[in-house]
Amino acid sequence: MFTGKQDENIKFSVLKTIAGFLNSDGGKLIIGYDEKNKRFTGLQEDYNISKWADQDGFKKELWDYLEANIPKKIIDSCIDLDFDNIDNKDLAIIDVKRLFDFPVYIKKNFYIRRKNRTEPLEDPSEADTYRKEHF
């Protein structure tokens, strides 16, 4: 988990989860919690690899990454970022509202949330049916 450098796979995982929330029923993504081991890890390692090495730097890099992949209009109206501190560890809480107007694609893929997973709808007819029912 902690490689000491930015991991594009983890960043992309955050991005596709946000897209899944936008395309489904919305939701909250918590960064700094290890769901597998049920423990708070915090954001310190993320701060350490940020250019600015603090919460503001983390926030700026997150917004820049999202804005490079999702239209700013959607980010402004559907995505909020807050921080909490539990057990002396910072957590980022990304609150995503469902987007009702149109589907969001990430790198030409359409993601949705099913239970606690983000899934691409790769079958064109399944994706088409989902879009017709939800948008």
* Residue-range definition of the domain harbouring residue 23: 8-134
Average pLDDT (59-81) is 96
The answer to whether 96 and 22 are in contact (CB under 8 A) is yes
**Across all residues in the chain, what is the average pLDDT?**
92
67 to 64, 71, 76, 90: CA distances (angstroms)? 5, 6, 10, 23
pLDDT digits (tens, 9 = 90+) for 5-19: 677 898 999 999 999
**Residue 36 is assigned to a structural domain of this protein:** yes
Tokens standing for residue 68: 């490079």
Residue with tokens 């919305």, as numbered in its chain: 26
**Residue 1 is assigned to a structural domain of this protein:** no
pLDDT digits (tens, 9 = 90+) for 75-114: 999 999 999 999 999 999 999 999 999 999 999 999 999 9
Instruction: Give the total number of structural domains in the chain.
Output: 1
CATH code assigned at 114? 3.30.950.30
The answer to whether 102 and 22 are in contact (CB under 8 A) is no
How many H-runs (helices) and E-runs (strands) does the chain carry?
5, 8
